[in-house]
Chain A
Amino acid sequence: MKLRPLLLVLAVVLLALLPVLGDEVTMQYGIDVLLFATIAQAWNILGGFTGYASFGNSAFYGLGTYGTAIAMTQWGQPFWLGLVFAAFLGVACALLIGVPILRLRGHYFAIATLGLSATLAAIIANLDIAGRNLGLVLPLTRNEPMFYEASLALLVAASLTVAWIARSRFGMGLLAIREDEDAAQVMGVSTTRYKVAALALSAFFTAIAGGIHAYWITFIDPGSAFDLTLNVRMVIMAMFGGPGTVLGPVVGAFILTVVYQLLASSISTAAALLFGLVIVVAVIFMPRGLWDLGQGIGRFGPRYLLQNIRMHRL
């Protein structure tokens, strides 16, 4: 397996060279794909490793967009300081709500986080500094390569973090929580601290991705910044690729975003319909994601798909 890291480095270098080769439109698609992959990967840190399905990540994303926008337009700070402020807001929110909400389990956790976006959107829509309902307009910069490389760097950083988690004691603790939280606690895993740390890490990357997106798109308002469908999309991408794996969510995001863009440009209404069908079929036939499917060529085939049904049907 010495080959794999080499191939990965090669892939990243190729991706980084895209601005030299590609035109503006390709790059815009590229930024979109990279940002989606980043937030899917960030969701994976908590959702994939501990099995706690967060629907509050779109709130961190929204805080990131507003953090950057406020720092740049209201306080006249440069872009990078905006991103720092975005990360700060995201992590602070994660720490603040993490302790009470992560005590809840299963469905209850998912539902408690579901309200977070709506609540924050309502608060933002009533704040003067955030431009109330009208939103904020950021300074216009036409520098696609910069946004592209920033998104790629963020994705690489998030993936390296997940790779580290997967090998570390911290990651083992998170997996133990997913398998059996009570047992993990008995074995000496400080479950609450682990879960809050995972949520904060997840919030960190999500908020920065939001910040990059805000400056790239140059206009934000509460509705689009705190969009719950964005959260649903990150869950689907991570689950489709393989939750709790290092590269699964990235692969899932790449495939699904490209498929969605291709469909949307040719047959607009049917695109969403097909997207839904893909989800249904994927859950039935490959409940552990693409990554599990790709673990060995021999496993791929009708037998693997049918075996999944046999395992999970009534």
Chain B
Amino acid sequence: MLFAQLLANGVLLGGLYGLMALGMSLVWGVLNIVNLAHGALIMLGGYCVYFLFTGLGIDPFAALPIAMLVLFAVGYVLQRFVLNLVIRSALLNTLLITFGLEVVLTYCAQLAFSADFRTINPPYAGANIDLLGVTLPVVRLGAFATALVLAALMWMLLERTKLGRAIRATAQNLTAARLYGVDPVQLYAITFGLGAALAGAAGGLYGLVSQVTPYMGSALTAKSFVIAIMGGLENPFGIVLGGVVIGLAEALAAIYIGPTFTDAISFGLLVLILVARPARSLQVT
């Protein structure tokens, strides 16, 4: 039964990891920016939901859309007025500037919200559902379901709407998309905003199952990285699956190999995949 419980924990947390990676892979795939500030955006989402819940008494799940809107605005402004200025310079420069943004956001959060650990504790935080002897915390189940719903919405947006078609066209060929009337300045800002909105939702959910601190970002950025590559950059469901794989690997490694190895395991897996499946990683630069 311990094994089944481990599997359940891994899958539930993994779905949330997948949601985190979703925003990063969207930005990466379309804008070719590896956004090192992604974790910081997740952190901002966490604070948003936290303050909506403690300050205004809004249920955390109901607060998610508001947090997503706020983060969309933050992401739109960042891309429109900062990242668009450097998007055509060397690859390392975009990496560097997002790192700088991560530092700025982290320490602004520390100044504004203090370094305290905060948890989002709705009345049902301790509730569980028992399923065939496996305990499923309601909050984690809700987070997992929300992650799936958002992934599905993302897929619909990309595949079924005009905006989604424009985003996919830009990812494939910027020049051609431009010829067909796509305005890249707006589209890039909207895409980054969408990525940030997904990060915001992930942050709120993460605050429910774990803690919100100003420094939570960098570890989550690294995780999102790994998952975005494993899942590929095109398919939202592939990314959620990648998240589940990492969640499972971590849960199993923590018990059977030792908790100090969890990070090493996910990166080990990543390098193995990169080296063993070279076709894609050799081509894309």
Which of A's residues lie within 8 Å of B, judged by CB? 47, 51, 53, 100-101, 103-108, 110-112, 114-116, 118-119, 121-123, 125-126, 133, 232, 235-236, 239, 243, 269-270, 272-273, 275-280, 283-284, 287, 309, 311-314
CB distance from A53 to the nearest CB of B (A): 5
- Number of A-B residue pairs having CB atoms within 8 Å of each other in the complex: 149
- B262: nearest residue on chain A (CB-CB)? A122
> DSSP class of A's interface residues: helix, strand, loop or mixed?
helix
A124 → chain B closest CB, angstroms: 10
Please tell me if the beta carbons of A53 and B107 are within 8 angstroms of each other in the complex: no
Size class of B's contact patch? Answer: 35 or more
Q: Confirm or deny: B132 has a beta carbon within 8 angstroms of a beta carbon on chain A.
A: no
Q: How far is the CA of A276 from the CA of B36 in the complex (A)?
A: 13
Chain A residue nearest to B88 (CB atoms) is: A312
Residues B104 and A269 in contact, CB atoms below 8 Å apart = no
**Residue of A101, A108, A270 with most partner-chain B CB within 10 A:** A108
**Assembled-state Cα–Cα distance A133/B259 (Å):** 13
Q: A126-B258, A235-B96 are in contact. List 14 more A-B contacts (CB 8 A).
A: A51-B90, A101-B275, A103-B275, A104-B282, A108-B284, A115-B264, A115-B267, A122-B260, A235-B92, A276-B103, A276-B106, A312-B87, A312-B88, A313-B84
User: Is B85 an interface residue when CB atoms closer than 8 A count as contact?
Assistant: yes
Question: In whole angstroms, how far apart are the Cα atoms of A233 and B258 in the complex?
Answer: 30
- Residues in B whose Cβ lies below 8 Å from that of A275: 103
B interface residues (Cβ-Cβ under 8 A, vs A): 28, 34, 82, 84-93, 95-97, 99-104, 106-108, 110-111, 184-185, 188, 222, 225-226, 229, 258, 260-261, 263-264, 266-268, 270-271, 274-275, 278, 281-282, 284-285
- Determine whether the beta carbon of A279 is less than 8 Å from that of B97: yes
Contacts of A133 in B (CB 8 A): 260
B86 contacts which of A110, A126, A283 (Cβ < 8 Å)? A283
The answer to whether A236 and B107 touch across the interface, beta carbons within 8 angstroms, is no
Q: Which residues of A contact B282 (CB under 8 A)?
A: 103-105
- Known A-B contacts A111-B229, A118-B263, A287-B93; A314 and B111 likewise in contact (beta carbons under 8 Å): no
Question: Do the beta carbons of A276 and B90 come within 8 Å of each other?
Answer: no
Give A270 to B104 CA distance when docked, in angstroms: 10
